[in-house]
Amino acid sequence: MKITIPATSANIGPGFDSVGVAVSKYLTITILAPSTKWEVHHNLENIPRDERNLLIKTALKVKPDLLPHKIDMVSDIPLARGLGSSSSVIVAGIELANQLGNLGLSNQDKLDLATQIEGHPDNVAPALFGNLVVASYTGEQVTSVVVPFPECAFVAFIPNYELKTSDSRHVLPATFDYSEAVKASSIANLAVSALLVGDLTKAGRAIEADLFHERFRQQLVAEFAPIKAEAHKIGAYATYLSGAGPTVMTLIAKDYVVPFVERLSQLHLDGEIEVLNLDTKGLVVTR
């Protein structure tokens, strides 16, 4: 049995901790034979291969008495780069428990569990459902809306360094002035509304006008400003930090992808440029 989970790009500008989209990089978990102990086979550096692995820790939180198995884990989602690597493992761990424990969890059950473990739904929701997901978590209940994302390409610049979410959160302010919060909320409302109606031009302007987090975090990612400048020159819709960064994501018409990638290549930045597509399936279990 295989469990496949997509990468995710969260926040999308002002949708802080509540908006995310699934994109075409994947974590695949293959459940092999039962064993006397948990064994997770992978080629990732500094990641545990036993019950300390986040996949197994998550599964055992859901059902502590699961029978140990051998597991193959393959992922092309880079760690600590703002593409939902930990969220994909959490969602996979919940599904691992669901399958091995015959729990019959509903999609809402899975979302509730994943959000409780992760702390917010912006990555785990699109990892579960695919597409664009707008979600709210009050500490007790998770409510989500799944919608298509407007037609475009996602051009990701993935730096060759990690940026942990905890470090990225340290630069955020502890409080917001009331009038500033209202302004930031109005920008977020416009961004989401424009995405819902497929107006990427208006959405892009609102995405780049975020007041909640990007103006504080962009200083941590030196590549952001030059990439955004090139994106503007070629007419891209928007450039934003994916999640907490450091991946820089650009929304762009598919006709402009090749020349934009060429422009980025000429900047000689230290990282990888990848052209991604929308994932519309989310969690997939193959028997």
Q: Which residues contribute to the annotated binding site for ATP?
A: 78-88
Where does residue 157 rank: exposed (0-12), middle (13-18), buried (19+ CB within 10 A)? buried
| The pair of three-digit structure tokens given for residue 178, joined into one six-digit string | 């009331």
β-sheet bridge partners, residue 255: none
List of residues 6+ apart from 222 with CB closer than 8 A? none
Where does residue 141 rank: exposed (0-12), middle (13-18), buried (19+ CB within 10 A)? exposed
Extract the annotated binding site. 78-88
